[in-house]
């Protein structure tokens, strides 16, 4: 399992893009991870900002934006240990612009073999 998180500051693009464009980039991240998208949700906030959720067969991708602070948080969680979230998250980062101020991995317990099948 891989759980990668990214805090992105100075997001010049976050005010220019809509949540639908973010979801398109999230679908590309899903594809690059080798995952399968199952469901999606876009929750826009007033006057601006959004949280976009892409449910995967293998877990999830979430992007939350705060345009007033040029800030975004990205959460990529996948059961596929053979994927590279740092490479796969590129479409989202390229769309938002900005600088990855913090990137990290959240340790997760692997499922016991008996439960994983």
pTM for the structure as a whole: 0.90
Express each pLDDT in 50-104 by its tens digit: 999 999 999 999 999 999 999 999 999 998 888 899 999 999 999 999 999 989 8
Does residue 11 contact residue 70 with C-beta atoms inside 8 Å? yes
Sheet of strand 37-44, all strands in order from the earlier edge strand to the far edge? 37-44, 50-56, 59-66, 71-78, 2-9, 99-105
Domain holding 51: CATH number? Answer: 3.60.90.10
Q: What is the tally of structural domains in the chain?
A: 1
Give a yes or no: residue 44 inside a domain: yes
Q: Provide the CB-side half-sphere exposure for 12 (13 A, CA).
A: 4
Q: What range defines the domain where residue 16 resides?
A: 2-99
Give a yes or no: residue 111 inside a domain: no
Give a yes or no: residue 46 inside a domain: yes
Give a yes or no: residue 69 inside a domain: yes
Does residue 91 contact residue 30 with C-beta atoms inside 8 Å? no
């Amino acid at each position: 399992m891989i759980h990668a998180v990214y805090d992105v500051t100075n997001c010049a693009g976050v005010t220019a893009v809509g949540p639908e464009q973010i979801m398109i980039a999230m679908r590309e991240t899903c594809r690059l991870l080798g995952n399968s998208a199952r469901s999606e949700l876009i929750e826009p906030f007033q006057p601006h900002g959004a949280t976009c959720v892409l449910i995967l067969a293998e877990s999830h991708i979430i992007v939350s934006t705060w345009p007033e602070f040029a800030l975004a948080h990205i959460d990529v969680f996948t059961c596929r240990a053979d994927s590279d979230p740092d490479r796969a998250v590129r479409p989202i980062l390229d769309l938002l612009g900005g600088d990855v101020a913090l990137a990290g991995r959240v340790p997760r317990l692997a499922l016991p073999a008996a439960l994983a099948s």
